[in-house]
Amino acid sequence: MPDGAAPVLAVSGLKTVFRTRGGEIHAVNDVGFRLRPGELLGVVGESGSGKSVTMMSLLGLLPSPPAEVRAGVVLFDGRDLLKLAPEELRGVRGGGIGFIFQDPMTSLNPVFTVGFQIMEPLRRHMGLDRRRAAARAAELLDLVGIPDARARLADFPHQFSGGMRQRVMIAIALACDPRVLIADEPTTALDVTIQAQILELVRDLRRKLGMAIIWITHDLGVIAGIADRVMVMYAGQVVEEAPVAAVFANPRHPYTRALLETIPHVRGQRAPRLKVIEGQPPILLAAPAACPFRARCAHAMPRCAAENPALRAAGTGHAVACHWDAPAGREARHG
């Protein structure tokens, strides 16, 4: 992707907290990233690292209360989404930005036909009448590879398999030709062969339609296959961001290195024990004042407890939030 192109989506200084009985949970702390047109940005990080909350914050999809987006700027189409009136924001949801969620079994409304659910955004955002919306819905189902699309519009979600339902979700997200598609672990709930099919479908759709994609996943293997750039999140912060090749060849953050080591090597003689990252992510009752990873880090130094590292440049298009200067290559083991 050309590095100079103006981003379709530019996020900076995003902070989201949850007000709970036990206190405020600082789920997203000063997150920023840029998404260029047509680019696929992979977002990785352990469970609870704030990937979903970040993306939902962009479009105001978190339930409020308890969620509160405290600060940040989300520029899309020259407008700050965080400052839009509710009605304008609804125009962006499903219009300029499409969303796919993790669990296709529960993400569709069980009592409405699939056709109705695909036609809803078409009628809402594109103002199509019933007939034209139905025609377009059939096209979309066809596009996402559902055979006999026109007839299946009248079917209910329970008449589709999990993989087929995720295809329907993709059709809904793509209905209004969005410029950005946010996919929150879209294949996690599916079995491996279906996962591969969905990945292939998205790669194919990206070639055909050219939208930018944010792809959230736990699976670095998936990232390696489809992403242009990778953003690694930990404890509600971005700890590393780089082109995909650089992340795999030259990871700079100890957490990224540890994540890479958790991938089992298929080609190894006998796969050694699956590696895990020792320790727990911190509970975010306050915005971290020190490096949140230091308790699990082999390279922790006194400075890590005193100062939360800010993102700094570490090569072309490569940024890392760490005080430690990692040697080049990924061989140097942490710990």
Partner 1 sequence: MLTYTLRRLLTAVPTLIFISFVIFLLLELAPGDPLADQPLTIPAEVRERMRTAMGLDAPAHVRYWKWLVQFVWIEPQVILDGWLGTGLAAGEERILSWQFRAPVFDIIWQRIPQTLNVVGIAYLVGVGIALPIGIVSAYRQYSWFDQIGTFVSMVGFSVPTFFTGVLFIVIFSVKLGWFPSIYDTTLRVTDWSSFLRQVSQMIMPVAVLALYNAAQISRFMRSSMLDNLNQDYVRTARAKGMAEGTVVLVHVLRNSLIPVVTVIALGVPTIFAGAIITEQVFKVNGLGQLLITAIQANDLPMVQTLAFVFAGLIITFNLVADVIYGILDPRIRYD
Ligand X SMILES: Nc1ncnc2c1ncn2[C@@H]1O[C@H](COP(=O)(O)OP(=O)(O)OP(=O)(O)O)[C@@H](O)[C@H]1O
The smaller minimum CB distance to Mg ion, of residues 38 and 45, is found at: 45
Q: Quote the tokens at residue 239.
A: 């700890």
53 binds ligand X (CB under 6 A): yes
Residue identified by tokens 């079994």 is: 105
Instruction: For the CB of residue 333, give the shortest distance to partner 1 in the complex, in Å.
Output: 40
C-alpha 191/C-alpha 158 separation (Å) is 18
Cα within 13 Å of Cα(109), Cβ side: 10
The smaller minimum CB distance to ligand X, of residues 51 and 229, is found at: 51
52 binds Mg ion (CB under 5 A): yes
Residue 252 contacts residue 264 (beta carbons within 8 Å): no
Helix (H) or strand (E) holding 234: strand 229-234
Residue 61 interacting entry, from Mg ion, partner 1, ligand X, none, C-beta within 5 to 8 Å by type: partner 1
The smaller minimum CB distance to partner 1, of residues 69 and 314, is found at: 69
18 binds ligand X (CB under 6 A): yes
Residues near 149 by Cβ (< 8 Å), separated by ≥ 6?
A: 138, 139, 140, 141, 142
Helix, strand or coil for residue 80? strand
Please say whether the dihedral angle defined by the alpha carbons of residues 147, 149, 150 and 152, taken in this order, is positive or negative.
positive
243-282 mask for ligand X (x: CB under 6 A)? ----------------------------------------
Residues near 24 by Cβ (< 8 Å), separated by ≥ 6?
A: 17, 18, 285, 286
91 binds partner 1 (CB under 8 A): yes
* Residue in 38, 45, 72, 254 binding ligand X, rule: CB under 6 A: 45
27 binds ligand X (CB under 6 A): yes
Check residue 111 and report its DSSP letter.
Answer: T
Q: Quote the tokens at residue 131.
A: 């007939």
Q: Determine the size of the site formed for partner 1 (CB under 8 A).
A: 29
20 binds ligand X (CB under 6 A): yes
The size of the chain, in residues, is 335
- Which range binds Mg ion by CB under 5 A, 50-58, 120-128, 189-197, 313-321? 50-58
Residues near partner 1 (CB under 8 A) = 59, 61, 86, 90-95, 98-99, 101, 103, 106-112, 120-121, 124-125, 156, 158, 169, 172-173
Residues near Mg ion (CB under 5 A) = 52
Residues near ligand X (CB under 6 A) = 18, 20, 25, 27, 45, 47-53, 66
